Amino acid sequence: MQSLLRGYLDSSLILRVTIALVLGVAVGLIGGDSVAAWLAPFGDLLLRLLQFLIVPIVLFTLIVGINQAELGRMGRIGGKVFLYYVATSAIAIVVGLVVASWLEPGSGLAPPANATFDVPDNPGLVSVVLSIVPENIVAAFAQPNLLGIIFTAFVFGIALLKLRQSDAQSAMAEKLFGVIEGLNAVTMKVMAGVLQYVPIGVFAIVAGTVAEQGLDTILSLGNMVVVLYLALAVHLVVYCVLMKLFGVRLGAFFREARTPMATAFATQSSTGTLPLTLNAAQRLGLSRPLYAFSLPLGATVNMDGAAIRIAISAVFAANVAGIPLDLASMVQIVLIGTLTSIGTAGVPGAGIVMIATVFAQVGLPIETVAMLTAIDALVGMGCTALNVTGDLTGTAIIAQSEREPDAAPEPRKADTGRA
């Protein structure tokens, strides 16, 4: 038994996660709902462990990162991050429209009669922007409000940096910074332990998702699923082209990115995968001030996978209703979809919210959203994996554009699980 456990711990983390994904699909198809119910607590435990790490890892990593950078450089980085997120979201919608217009998902299907479904309220872009400044710090940490946590860490990180640069309070500030650095190191050590449980949780979540969806659902709307995953693959190629243009080594990038990608695929949560995404950025040797800011923000507002889903869902609805999309409608979808993907980020059921919002704006039949909810989990898995990949891609590209001296890959650490 001890040798089996040692073999598990010594094996590559991505190998364990890959095996867990394959076994999860097989068990979900064969075992059905009864097996899914039995495995559910194991999947819930993984999500709880990842959520448990989000607040300390974002707070301490960002404060430490700010105190290792120059304020002027952070402002320049922030502008690049925002530009990248907006641009790639717009490109993602264009990719989705092109692929879907070519393959025409939904052709031959009829809209459901008297279909009913629940769509969560769309908070809108203004509410999302206002939520950056929390009314109550404790409430922001308890929810958790990731944008509020980023704002809090940013404000207190800058204040600590100013104190360290002052003559009167520098000694006290250095002691406080040492404590925060220690807490950050402890958080990373806890995360190394959580990584060992990731394959077990991934197996349970995938088995449950496949069992709940069932083979009939997959086959009935299989064309839509295939088109969406093809568009995701095309956008992944776009990422690769961008990274090659900026000199990012693709082999090293995907060697470290594949674990958060696989975990995001299983959990359908960019925020929940954030601890693993930050760990991948660290192992890639990217600058801490950069990834401590860009990745938490990206997990909240950058949703390229969801943007592709908006575009393909719009073409799907148009084909089902027999209403071809003209160029003006497609341009409108690009503009509205880009803003909507930011304005609904982090909302439960965000994918359905975005689709329903865009449909209402461009005059597509809202009833078709009910058809898309049947495959919500299946498409959400791939979209979330692309979201996380896009966050890491942008961080790696901006690191290269800054030509940071510390952007060389770090040696791998055995206690985090080899990838």
What is the token pair recorded at 243? 């990274």
Nearest CA among 272, 268, 253 for reference residue 399: 253
Using the predicted structure, report yes or no on whether residue 393 has a pLDDT greater than 90.
yes
User: What pLDDT shows up at residue 338?
Assistant: 76
Lowest-confidence range among 87-91, 302-306, 412-416?
412-416
Distance CA 185, CA 60 (A): 9
Helices and strands counted in the chain (H then E): 17, 0
Asked if 314 contacts 77 with a C-beta cutoff of 8 angstroms, the reply is no
The mean pLDDT of 211-235, rounded to a whole number, is 79
pLDDT classification of 57: cutoffs 50, 70, 90: confident
Domain locations in the chain?
A: 2-416
Instruction: Enumerate residues 6+ apart whose C-beta is below 8 A from 72.
Output: none
- The stretches of 284-326 forming alpha helices (DSSP H) are 288-301, 304-321
pLDDT classification of 413: cutoffs 50, 70, 90: very low
What is the chain's length? 419
Query: In the CATH hierarchy, which fold is given to the domain comprising 2-416?
Result: Proton glutamate symport protein (1.10.3860)
Instruction: Enumerate residues 6+ apart whose C-beta is below 8 A from 82.
Output: none
Q: What rounded mean pLDDT belongs to the chain?
A: 80
Nearest CA among 291, 298, 237 for reference residue 402: 291
Q: Which of 245-259, 321-335, 356-370, 373-387 has the highest mean pLDDT?
A: 245-259
Asked if 189 contacts 27 with a C-beta cutoff of 8 angstroms, the reply is no
Nearest CA among 369, 99, 97, 374 for reference residue 226: 99
Nearest CA among 275, 277, 301 for reference residue 59: 275
CA 201 to chain centroid, in Å, comes to 18
Using the predicted structure, report yes or no on whether residue 78 has a pLDDT greater than 80.
yes
What is the token pair recorded at 281? 């950025």
Distance CA 393, CA 298 (A): 11
User: What pLDDT shows up at residue 28?
Assistant: 84
pLDDT classification of 174: cutoffs 50, 70, 90: very high
Asked if 340 contacts 104 with a C-beta cutoff of 8 angstroms, the reply is no
Q: What is the dihedral of CA 209, 213, 219, 221, to 10 degrees?
A: -100
Nearest CA among 339, 347, 298, 304 for reference residue 123: 347
Count CB atoms within 10 A of the CB of residue 372: 23
The residue that leads in pLDDT, 353 or 225, is 225
Distance CA 233, CA 225 (A): 12
pLDDT in tens, 311-351: 888 888 888 777 777 787 788 888 877 776 665 554 445 66
Asked if 305 contacts 92 with a C-beta cutoff of 8 angstroms, the reply is yes
The mean pLDDT of 240-265, rounded to a whole number, is 93
Count CB atoms within 10 A of the CB of residue 405: 7
Nearest CA among 155, 149, 144 for reference residue 58: 149
Using the predicted structure, report yes or no on whether residue 234 has a pLDDT greater than 50.
yes
User: What pLDDT shows up at residue 410?
Assistant: 44
- Whole-model pTM? 0.79
Q: What percent of the chain has pLDDT over 90?
A: 22
Q: Which of 13-27, 108-122, 213-227 has the highest mean pLDDT?
A: 13-27
User: What pLDDT shows up at residue 10?
Assistant: 67
Nearest CA among 141, 150, 143 for reference residue 297: 150
pLDDT classification of 195: cutoffs 50, 70, 90: confident
Distance CA 252, CA 235 (A): 19
Asked if 161 contacts 66 with a C-beta cutoff of 8 angstroms, the reply is yes
Distance CA 204, CA 24 (A): 6
User: What pLDDT shows up at residue 61?
Assistant: 87
The residue that leads in pLDDT, 220 or 132, is 132
